[in-house]
Structure 1
Amino acid sequence: MPEKYDQDARPDEKLLKLFMLLLFNDKEFSLTYLAETINCSKQTVARLLRRIDENYPCHLLERKSNRQKFYHLQRPSMSFKTAIDPAGLRQLALCRDLVKGLLPKEDWELVNMSLQQAKTNLPRADYSSYQDANVGTRLTRGHINYQTKQKQLAELEKCILNRKSCMLSYQKDLNGEIKNYAYAPQMLITFHDSLYVSGWIVSEAGPVRILKERPAKFSVHRITEVTAQNRSTEELPVKDLEENADFGFLRDEPFKTKIWFSKEVMTYISDRIWSDDQKITPQEDGGIILEMTALSRSELISFVLSFDFKARLLEPSDLAAEIKERLLKTLEKY
């Protein structure tokens, strides 16, 4: 007996995935494509197709071309009263494409399947003209694999939606100590192609009390375990991260900064909003000076150094001295 293509998937899971793929896409698929998508043999797909044709109120159409078989599920006529906007659906499809690789595979497939299901609710006049083509993608260097963090993400999402606290285990460094926190998660955040969770570190027992002055952020991929608690966080203040209009993701005390940029990077800097109070002043050498409020000293240092000799921190002076010290230490390595 040949080895199964997918040892983990149950027959009913394969049948459901195949049926939904055919039902929510008004087009035909080759047997080869279906086998690759369902992740099983052609013989298994053929057997599942027979079950669909025999047991569901849909007519399965089969066509042969160049020794290849093609299948199309003729859907039953339905009258939908729900109004779906084709333009809005296309924007959701773009969002789906841009988060591919950031979400765990199963979560992304759920998003994709939900979009396919929503497509069937389009008004009949719009259905034939709607195109679900991939018009966007996500490129990154050194991406993080969140496939192993699906359980942690699901628990965090459940706690956020239900306003409950949790016990969170976190390993900051690869070989570092795992620390445990009583935590009230409030929001998942994407930043520099990484997922973070923001919330309050709270008391471990009894009514939930905030222990830290500022919300704490954890990298999702460094979270080893999340256990939901039946403790309400309804009374805790909700920090609106979108209100943070200054430069910096990790918060220190706000401070004013002034940075010179050369003409080679002035367009890149000028095209973006780094802080709501930013001021850009052209310089006689062809460059610009950016003035803004920053929240994180470490992030500002990394930001300036990322431009190499094309940027120079002018203020604050103590931070400029720290950058100079780092550069001298780097030079010693060479």
Structure 2
Amino acid sequence: MMTDDTTGTMPRKSPDKTATARIITLYRILETSRHPLTKKELAERLDCSSESVRRLLHTLDQELGDGVLVTETREQDRVPTHSLRTTRPHPLQGLADVVDLFAQWVDQVAPYLPEQTVEQARSALPQLAITLSDGGPGYGGPTQTAAPRWPMTFRSKGYIDYIPHAQTLKTLRQAITGGQVCVVGYHAAGQDAPRRHRLIPRRIVVQSGTLYLLGDALTEGTLQPEYGMTLSVHRIRTVDLKQEYLRPQAADDGMRDRHFGLKWHAPRRCAVWIAAPAADYVRDRIWSDDQTITSHTDGSLTLHVTTTSEEELKAWVRSFGDRARLEDTPLPEQESA
């Protein structure tokens, strides 16, 4: 037994060897260990006896409360081991649906974001999914802290809350990805009850803060597309997936082309005259992928766009009052490009 050479007494414990310091050290050891530890291993790391470790484990278990437990595991005749087990939810537990919804939003906004940003978001999704699957109640990673917020917010004049429709979006995404026929219960505005539509969903598009499902209604009893359909996602009440499949042909659906408005009819070319006070507003924005603008000497302009919803285009023109009008001639002679 070691004694102090001058006094012949036991050496005093250094401050970091006090019970409180040991409990803190014990917690850190258990928290960071990748495998359960025996009392002997803990005693060696704490520089104390196995009996002291037993008391420290008991004290730690009492102090941690209901959120974290010190567990003892004994496998057959092996020496019991100790580890920490948290009963609090993992910071990411239960967010699988949110991650899936995030993936859907990335797909929706991809055409409007820089390609590099889209790639960063898509590359982060698998990493986040792995974290979710490898985490769980026993998560031993770093402390989760709130991420710094980007100093930018979005405002709208009324919006639709899509959180209650997350399952609908998930099911529709499955049907679109797999080319699966579904029967949709759709409650159209002004109707007393939902109606059922058998269709093949093609794509979900975003316009003015609203999600729309584009698809093809199918002829009764066949897989033959009969006519195009556009449905507001928030008005879809049920989605019943069928064991019928119709692979869409990427070359002929035309849904990758961004035209003015939703897809209600075949693309049509139109021209809109815009007065000088509203010209910059129109010039700053993209209204269709193939748009062209003719500038006039008085500051006005003529916007040439392709639309798949002429009624929407007319409503948009009317919103400008006397500062805009739909031209009778689709492609007037250009004064300047």
TM range (shorter): 0.5 to 0.7
Which deviations, in whole Å up to 9, do the C-alpha atoms of 1:284-315 show, x marking residues without a partner? 32221222333322111111122223222222
Task: State the partner residue of 2:128.
Answer: 114
Amino acid at match of 1:160: I
Task: State the partner residue of 2:238.
Answer: 225
Task: State the partner residue of 1:237.
Answer: 249
Which deviations, in whole Å up to 9, do the C-alpha atoms of 1:134-185 show, x marking residues without a partner? 3254332211122332332222122223321111111111444422111111
Change beyond 3 A, Cα 1:231–1:316 = same
Give me the whole-angstrom Cα distance separating, in 1, the residues matched to 2:84 and 2:201.
45
Q: Tell me if 1:297 matches 2:303.
A: no
The normalised TM-score by structure 2 is 0.53
Give me the whole-angstrom Cα distance separating, in 2, the residues matched to 1:283 and 1:141.
33
| 2:226 corresponds to which of 208, 211, 225 | 211
| 1:314 corresponds to which of 327, 331, 334 | 327
Which deviations, in whole Å up to 9, do the C-alpha atoms of 1:68-102 show, x marking residues without a partner? xxx9x9xxxxxxxxxxxxxxxxxx9x969x99xxx
Matched-pair contact (CA < 8 Å) for 1:259–1:291 = yes
Q: Compute the displacement of 1:195 (Å).
A: 1.1
Q: Structure 1 regions of 5+ residues with no counterpart?
A: 1-22, 24-45, 61-70, 74-91, 100-110, 121-126, 318-334
- Secondary structure of 1:312's counterpart equals strand
CA RMSD, Structure 1 to Structure 2 (Å): 4.3
Amino acid at match of 2:326: L
Matched-pair contact (CA < 8 Å) for 2:180–2:245 = yes
| 2:68 corresponds to which of 33, 37, 50 | 50
Give me the whole-angstrom Cα distance separating, in 1, the residues matched to 2:165 and 2:198.
19
What are the equivalent positions in structure 2 for 1:79-94 lying under 5 Å apart? Answer: none
Change beyond 3 A, Cα 1:58–1:279 = same
Task: State the partner residue of 1:288.
Answer: 301
Q: Tell me if 1:272 matches 2:288.
A: no
Change beyond 3 A, Cα 1:296–1:280 = same
- Percent identity between matched residues is 23
Task: State the partner residue of 1:186.
Answer: 202
Change beyond 3 A, Cα 1:169–1:291 = same
Q: Compute the displacement of 1:229 (Å).
A: 0.8
- Secondary structure of 2:148's counterpart equals coil
Q: Compute the displacement of 1:204 (Å).
A: 4.6
Q: Which has the larger radius of gyration?
A: 2
Task: State the partner residue of 2:100.
Answer: none
Q: Compute the displacement of 1:216 (Å).
A: 1.8
Give me the whole-angstrom Cα distance separating, in 2, the residues matched to 1:242 and 1:165.
18
Q: Structure 2 regions of 5+ residues with no counterpart?
A: 1-31, 33-63, 73-81, 91-102, 111-124, 135-141, 331-337
- Secondary structure of 1:229's counterpart equals strand
Amino acid at match of 1:254: P
Matched-pair contact (CA < 8 Å) for 1:256–1:315 = no
- Secondary structure of 1:244's counterpart equals coil
Count residues in correspondence. Answer: 221
Amino acid at match of 1:227: D
Give me the whole-angstrom Cα distance separating, in 1, the residues matched to 2:71 and 2:275.
70
Matched-pair contact (CA < 8 Å) for 1:246–1:274 = yes
Amino acid at match of 1:185: P
Amino acid at match of 2:249: P
Amino acid at match of 1:165: V
